[in-house]
Amino acid sequence: MSQHDHGAQPVILPPQEAWGVIKSLLNPVTYLKFAKEHPILSLIFLVGVVVTVNRFLIGGLAGTTNLDDNNPWGIWISFDLLCGVALAAGGYTTTAGALIFNIKGLRTAVKPAILTAFLGYAFVVYALLYDVGQPWRLPYPVFWSQGTSSVLFEVGLCVMLYVTVLMIEWLPNFTDWVGMQKISHVIHKCTIALTIMGIVLSTMHQSSLGMLYLIAPHKMHPLWYSAHLPLQFFVSSMVAGMSMVIFEGTISHHYMHSRMSPEYNRDHDGVLFAFAKACSIILFGYFFMKWVPIAGENKWGYIFDGKYGLMWLIEMFGFIAIPCFLYAVGYRSRSTGTIKAAATISVLGIVFNRFNVSWFGFNIHLRPEQQYFPSVQEVIVSVFVVTLIILCFRFISKYMAIFSDHPSYSKGHH
Amino acid sequence: MEFHVYHDQMVYSKAAAYILMAVALACSVVWWKFLTGKEPKKNDDH
């Protein structure tokens, strides 16, 4: 069990002071102060702004990226979108566990998980603005020209609806903070409906992201191409989401310990054990789910065939079997350290899998000089987006009641 | 990367997939025992 001091209730500013904090965001002095205290984050932010100006006002896609007609989707899709959506799956897995399956220990993980998911999805959409040639046309497929036979249309529609659902689920944290409890009460009455919508929409678009690649059987390496891709994407998203909640919770627990109420600190280990058991079971199934198409489509020969075979084996054993075993050992022996290690490996494994499907194992028929490698500016944008997510998470959890119940509530609300 | 699928090969592949699924099912029983073998009793504070 945790050796942490359970501490006192964190201080939540009264509404009048909350508005003062919001006003201070409009004051440049706030940012200068922040830059002095956090020079590295500020440098990343500054470089990100320069690249953003270059992308939208000067160089465009050609002057910013290594994308071309052979490789129209690059690291912004592989990392920002595919990894971002998978790792933000903690929102639906945690709400499903806590509010639908009524696992009591998970209650305290709901608000941080919803915040992580909301920021994750919001910044997926933000990153997409960089990637789409004419970003102002992003709403076209939903409002003007519905391509109802397209998988991408379904992904777009689901992501748009799910971002809205997540925003509504997160909104009570803000309205409580600024003293608009009436709005919070209305939203709390819709909690179950919102949770069910979140699960349905996530199930649909997590699998559809895998389905997108079914259109390119001749571009993908056979080890990753499979008719089971949608199922594999959906199942792995559950592990990604829960592992990310453990990973993010561990970092929050370390750096924002003083913002956590005694109840949140006490329940932290319970969340770890519940998710470790679930992740171990799901990873076990996922491991065999990846072998079945190899047998069914007779692809054994590719496993021992060069670097792709090696990468597939590393993914299967290093990033699926090992975390599966570590989660089980951590759960059995009540070792939070082992569970945290398993969560870190799982998060890296999901990134590796999505990179294999959409980048390393994609367009393999091209000549080496035609293969895609991201430009420095593409990588900077991805780092910039991650930095923005961290800054937003830090700001929101510093001021709003994310790791505690808001003082205006009696015990028992979500 | 081309590979040709013949009828016999397809039958054997399907059979292999079903055998693999049976192995997975057997392993899952062992895995479940291992995972829950030392599970604390219900009145524990988990």
| Per-residue model confidence (pLDDT) at position A380 | 97
- pLDDT above 70 covers a percentage of chain A that reads 97
C-beta neighbour count of A363 within 10 angstroms: 18
Number of domains in chain A: 1
Determine the distance in angstroms separating the CA of B17 from the nearest CA of chain A, rounded to an integer: 5
Contacts of B24 in chain A (CB under 8 A): 285, 288, 291-292
The pLDDT of A14-20, averaged and rounded, is 82
Q: How far is A287 from chain B (nearest CA, A)?
A: 9
Q: Smallest Cβ distance to B9: which of A273, A284, A298?
A: A298
Within a domain: A323: yes
| Assigned domain for A101 exists | yes
- What value does the mean pLDDT take over residues A195-204? 96
Do the Cβ atoms of A297 and B19 come within 8 Å? no
Q: CB-based contact (8 Å) between A57 and chain B?
A: no
CATH code for position A236: 1.20.1630.10
Chain A residues within an 8 Å CB radius of B16: 295-296, 298
Q: Which two tokens stand for residue A158?
A: 């689901």
In a domain, A229, yes or no: yes
Which positions ≥6 away from A85 have C-beta within 8 Å? A120, A121, A124, A159, A205, A206, A209, A237
pLDDT score of A410 more than 60: no
How many angstroms from the chain centroid is the CA of residue A59? Answer: 29
Contact across the interface for A105 and B28, Cβ inside 8 Å? no
Asked if residue A6 is part of any domain, the answer here is no
Say if A19 falls within a structural domain.
no
The whole-angstrom distance between B32's CA and the closest CA on chain A is 8
Residues of chain A positioned with their CB less than 8 A from the CB of B31: 284, 328
Domain range for residue A391? 41-399
Note the pLDDT of residue A307: 92
pLDDT, position A4 = 45
Contacts of A105 in chain B (CB under 8 A): 46
In a domain, A404, yes or no: no
Residue A172 lies in a domain: yes
In a domain, A287, yes or no: yes
Closest Cβ opposite residue B17 in set A285, A295, A333: A295
Task: Give per-residue pLDDT as tens, A354-402.
Answer: 999 999 999 989 998 899 999 999 999 999 999 999 999 999 998 898 9
Q: How far is CA A46 from the centre of its chain?
A: 24
Task: Please enumerate in sequence order all residues whose Cβ is within 8 A of that of A67, keeping only pairs 6 or more positions apart, or say none.
Answer: A61, A73, A74, A372
- Which residue of A292, A326, A363, A364 is the best one to mutate when testing the B interface, meaning the one whose CB has the most B CBs within 10 A? A292
Q: Is B9 on the interface with A (CB under 8 A)?
A: yes
pLDDT category, A155, cuts 50, 70, 90? very high
Q: Which residue has the higher pLDDT, B10 or A260?
A: A260
ipTM of the modeled complex: 0.73
Q: What DSSP letter does each residue of B6-43 carry, written as one string?
A: -HHHHHHHHHHHHHHHHHHHHHHHHHHHHHHTTPPPTT
